[in-house]
Chain A
Amino acid sequence: MLKFLKAFPLVCALALTAAPVAAETLGLGRAALSDEIAAWDIDVRPDGLGLPEGSGDVWTGEEVFVEKCAACHGDFGEAVGRWPVLAGGQGTLERENPVKTIGSYWPYLSTVFDYVNRAMPFGEAQSLTPDEVYAITAYLLYVNDLVDEDFELSHENFLDVEMPNTANFYMDDRAETELPVFSGEVCMTDCKDSVEITMRAAVLDVTPEEDVVAEEPVAEEAVPAEEAEVVVAAIDPALIEAGEGAFRQCRACHEVGEGASNRTGPALNGVLGHTIGGVEGFRYSNTFKDAAEAGEVWEAESLAAFLADPRGTRSGTKMTFRGVRSEEEATALIAYIESLATE
């Protein structure tokens, strides 16, 4: 009742100022606490709304970027493989294969801050401090030739930065430019004199191959029962399953099992008992190169220690992983990796 009485004058005030009539509510949900809102409301807008206090300079940004971002985006934002290119591309928007980067395309700097802050590093989102995000943003401006090397970005000068492509965006105008052209009567007979094929997909041939699972069901009886038992006995299936779940943290960068190849991280087929830094074709950090030269070999203990604290045990590793949460998780991960290891 008290609630209702409190709300009553407010409703009257709304009605008097000709605001929209307050709809009848169902009384569902509860009030959001200010700490709860602060925990989730991290979004940043072009007008600066939502920017936290903080600052970071280009040099700090370079250090953080090389450690946490360069594995996918390259040291200078040039990108590794098909990961997004972040720098360059100025003057390419009108050409074939335009290069759309922060410098060449993105209309607002707030978008960079918001996205890095909410979604990066890939696989370890929302782990950066505000100062680190300012520093990375400053570095990304620098590699796009938009600021000098001594630039420092902060919540105070953020709105002073101008992005070169801002003016080249405009609202959807299809209603004026396309709908009238694409509406109206259509031709149904004798619409063309002749028809010729001008391009064939088969010429490019980029369609994925059909790798359909064999239609003939595999004869399960064909596997000798004894052999099946041996496989099961080797590693505890529950442990492997737990490891498979834990491996979700790794699979953004690592492949394991049949057909696994090197990606951001090396393929993990055969780790235990193998040379540290020994996967062929992978570009290792110096610490792993040194280990390989010294002939070091992964053992259960050293691998678990590395998984628990990658940067602490192998200073200089390119692996941007904070480390597993428990010894059990490390054991499960190793069990899973070993269960899939194909030599």
Chain B
Amino acid sequence: MTNIYKGMKPTRRNFLRGAAASGAALVGGATAARAEGDPAIIDKQPWSQFLGAGVDEAPYGMPSKFEAHVRRQDVPWLTADPVSSINFTPLHELDGIITPNGLCFERHHSGVAEVDPAEHRLMINGLVDRPLVFTMEDLMRFPRENHVYFLECAANSGMEWAGAQLNGCQFTHGMIHNVMYTGIPLRLILEEAGIKASGKWLLPEGADAAGMTRSIPIEKAMDDCLVAFKMNGEALRPEQGYPIRLVVPGWEGNMWVKWLRRIEVGDQPWHHREETSKYTDLLANGQARRFTWEMDAKSVITSPSPQMPITQGPGPLVISGVAWSGRGTIPRVDVTTDGGVSWQEARMSGPSLDKSMHRFYLDINWDGNPMLLQSRAHDSTGYVQPTKDQLRAIRGENSIYHNNGIQTWAVNENGEAENVEIS
């Protein structure tokens, strides 16, 4: 991480200082051949003089080429193969609460299934009155709803159980995205088939080569689950389950089965691979919690952070971050700059939606001294995000999943930030 300043332009403040100095040197000297000042103003920029691209240049628009560094990234040593792996949302580069579709982290177990919607079917079978098959056209005739929900992988921050490992909130917290879904309430689809009184569990199944399956209790399915076909207004991206995926608000991302092709209704859970060998929380005593579906309240400061150092020196500083809870909204986030000796309430900004990401800011005047930055989320149930040591005291260090402990960034006098743990 030695090249974090690479590509950074000289700051405006430094430039003006320099300009003032050279201006003073010129007083009484020869008349300058050209006007003095910021070349960005004095010189004609090519984009101000020459014609740009026409309207058809990019029928599907892409970000500015100067934003090429804003992208998903993986951690190659984590998994055996990129086909069954994960990458991370660049949280440090984002603001507001919505994650752009192309930056939503990916987690596949057998690669991205390229599903032809014309050949895609959704089957409902098991303990139902009428086993049914729906085409995409059938699904488009159901009443639909719009909701913004976060999707967090249960393994988000999983590499940090034994201590600080990765430098950057993209890597420590980037297995999350927050998207507006358009979808059909799952309840409506199930009612179409008619669930028998003995039907207590669902097994959604994906059409990918992993045949992803999870057991979901019927209460959750009838409450707020969606069969989504749009994200942020456009069709689901292939890597997010095109043409349809299950949305299980507030619950761990693995349950949000992508490329959804079948839902079986049963009278007991299936205990499949992803809910036994994976996504169970092994505790220090060798026992394991199962069905830890709800995501606990969590927050992280996205700027400054290891990939987003302070480059403009002391003075006004926007401390920015995100918070979320699988149990409701986030009415409050506290921020400390001194490692938890004292805390201030951050300013929440933007929509506060149930089981959605929230944005918070703390606007400070940085004096240039080192800081130990932390954020602490409070959710609408009164739950307060714990420290990592509080979590370890109950769960040990082997559980991999559901690490929602408070994150610390140590910011030095140069404005560079590092992932640390503190006493």
A22 to B191, CA, bound (A): 8
A246 to B293, CA, bound (A): 38
Please, which residues of chain B bring their CB within 8 A of the CB of A207? 1, 75, 166-168, 171, 306
CB <8 Å contact, B171 and A208: yes
CB <8 Å contact, A111 and B273: yes
Please, which residues of chain A bring their CB within 8 A of the CB of B239? none
CB <8 Å contact, A25 and B191: yes
CB <8 Å contact, B3 and A28: no
- Any A CB within 8 A of the CB of B397: yes
Cβ distance A239 to chain B, nearest Cβ, rounded Å: 20
CB <8 Å contact, B165 and A183: no
Please, which residues of chain A bring their CB within 8 A of the CB of B110? 119, 122-123, 125
Please, which residues of chain A bring their CB within 8 A of the CB of B382? 183-184
Please, which residues of chain A bring their CB within 8 A of the CB of B292? 172, 174
- Any B CB within 8 A of the CB of A6: no
> Interface segment, A39-47, A307-315, A320-328?
A39-47
CB <8 Å contact, A195 and B133: no
Q: Binary interface profile of B, 241-283, with partner A (CB < 8 Å = 1, else 0)?
A: 0000000000000000000011010101011110011001010
Most chain B beta-carbon neighbours within 10 Å: one of A44, A123, A169, A215: A169
In the complex, chain A residues 131-186 whose Cβ is within 8 Å of any chain B Cβ: 168-174, 177-179, 181-184, 186
Q: Which residue of A is nearest B163, CB measured?
A: A199
Say whether, besides A37-B123, A108-B271, A208-B171, A29 and B132 are in contact (CB < 8 Å).
Answer: yes
In the complex, chain A residues 43-57 whose Cβ is within 8 Å of any chain B Cβ: 43-47, 49
Q: Which residue of A is nearest B112, CB measured?
A: A248
- Any A CB within 8 A of the CB of B76: yes
Please, which residues of chain B bring their CB within 8 A of the CB of A118? 210-211, 213
Please, which residues of chain B bring their CB within 8 A of the CB of A188? 334, 342-344
> Interface segment, A92-100, A273-281, A288-296, A297-305?
A92-100
Q: Which residue of B is nearest A114, CB measured?
A: B272
Please, which residues of chain B bring their CB within 8 A of the CB of A93? 282, 286, 398
In the complex, chain A residues 195-220 whose Cβ is within 8 Å of any chain B Cβ: 195-202, 204, 206-208, 210, 212-213, 215, 217
Say whether, besides A40-B261, A110-B271, A114-B272, A183 and B210 are in contact (CB < 8 Å).
Answer: no
- Any B CB within 8 A of the CB of A9: no
CB <8 Å contact, A199 and B164: yes
A270 to B116, CA, bound (A): 34
Contact of B289 among A25, A170, A186 (CB under 8 A): A170
Q: Binary interface profile of A, 238-260, with partner B (CB < 8 Å = 1, else 0)?
A: 00000000001001100000000
In the complex, chain B residues 58-108 whose Cβ is within 8 Å of any chain A Cβ: 65-66, 68-69, 71, 73-77, 79-84
CB <8 Å contact, B284 and A201: no
CB <8 Å contact, B421 and A199: yes
CB <8 Å contact, A106 and B277: yes
CB <8 Å contact, A107 and B276: yes
- Any B CB within 8 A of the CB of A316: no
A308 to B262, CA, bound (A): 33
CB <8 Å contact, B277 and A210: no
Q: Binary interface profile of B, 22-56, with partner A (CB < 8 Å = 1, else 0)?
A: 00000000000000000000000000000000000
In the complex, chain B residues 170-195 whose Cβ is within 8 Å of any chain A Cβ: 171, 188, 191-195
Contact of B287 among A23, A119, A169 (CB under 8 A): A169
A122 to B80, CA, bound (A): 12
A181 to B385, CA, bound (A): 11
CB <8 Å contact, B132 and A31: yes
CB <8 Å contact, B343 and A168: no
- Any B CB within 8 A of the CB of A189: yes
A206 to B163, CA, bound (A): 12
Cβ distance A341 to chain B, nearest Cβ, rounded Å: 21
A73 to B3, CA, bound (A): 38
- Any A CB within 8 A of the CB of B354: no
Please, which residues of chain B bring their CB within 8 A of the CB of A23? 191, 194
Q: Which residue of A is nearest B68, CB measured?
A: A213
Please, which residues of chain B bring their CB within 8 A of the CB of A190? 341-342
Q: Which residue of B is nearest A116, CB measured?
A: B273
Please, which residues of chain A bring their CB within 8 A of the CB of B394? 177-178, 181
CB <8 Å contact, B3 and A195: no
A189 to B378, CA, bound (A): 17
Chain A: interface residue total (CB-CB under 8 A): 92
Contact of B131 among A37, A45, A191 (CB under 8 A): A37
A171 to B191, CA, bound (A): 28
Please, which residues of chain A bring their CB within 8 A of the CB of B126? 41
Please, which residues of chain A bring their CB within 8 A of the CB of B276? 106-108, 111, 169
Say whether, besides A100-B277, A182-B390, A199-B163, A81 and B80 are in contact (CB < 8 Å).
Answer: yes
Say whether, besides A122-B110, A189-B342, A115 and B168 are in contact (CB < 8 Å).
Answer: no
Please, which residues of chain A bring their CB within 8 A of the CB of B194? 22-23, 25
A194 to B166, CA, bound (A): 25
Please, which residues of chain A bring their CB within 8 A of the CB of B284? 94
Cβ distance B374 to chain A, nearest Cβ, rounded Å: 10
> Interface segment, B134-142, B224-232, B308-316, B361-369?
B134-142
- Any A CB within 8 A of the CB of B318: no
CB <8 Å contact, A183 and B381: yes
Please, which residues of chain B bring their CB within 8 A of the CB of A206? 75, 77, 165-166
Say whether, besides A43-B213, A168-B287, A195 and B340 are in contact (CB < 8 Å).
Answer: yes
CB <8 Å contact, A98 and B418: no
Please, which residues of chain B bring their CB within 8 A of the CB of A47? 268
Q: Which residue of B is nearest A94, CB measured?
A: B286
- Any A CB within 8 A of the CB of B328: no
Cβ distance B241 to chain A, nearest Cβ, rounded Å: 17
In the complex, chain B residues 352-392 whose Cβ is within 8 Å of any chain A Cβ: 372, 376, 378, 381-386, 390
CB <8 Å contact, A172 and B293: yes
A125 to B110, CA, bound (A): 9
Please, which residues of chain B bring their CB within 8 A of the CB of A177? 394
Say whether, besides A26-B141, A111-B277, A183-B383, A45 and B266 are in contact (CB < 8 Å).
Answer: yes
Q: Which residue of A is nearest B139, CB measured?
A: A28
Say whether, besides A40-B205, A114-B270, A195 and B132 are in contact (CB < 8 Å).
Answer: no
Residues of A bordering B, CB below 8 Å: 19-20, 22-23, 25-26, 28-32, 36-37, 40-47, 49, 72, 81-84, 93-94, 96-98, 100, 102, 105-108, 110-111, 114-115, 118-119, 122-123, 125-126, 168-174, 177-179, 181-184, 186-192, 194-202, 204, 206-208, 210, 212-213, 215, 217, 248, 251-252, 263-264
Q: Could you list 6 examples of A-B contacts with CB < 8 Å?
A: A29-B124, A37-B131, A102-B277, A122-B110, A170-B287, A173-B289
Known: A41-B264, A195-B340, A199-B164. 19 other contacts (CB 8 A): A25-B192, A26-B142, A28-B139, A28-B192, A42-B211, A43-B203, A43-B264, A43-B272, A47-B268, A93-B398, A174-B294, A178-B296, A183-B381, A188-B342, A196-B422, A196-B423, A201-B167, A207-B75, A208-B76
Closest 3 CB pairs of A and B: A195-B339, A201-B419, A82-B80
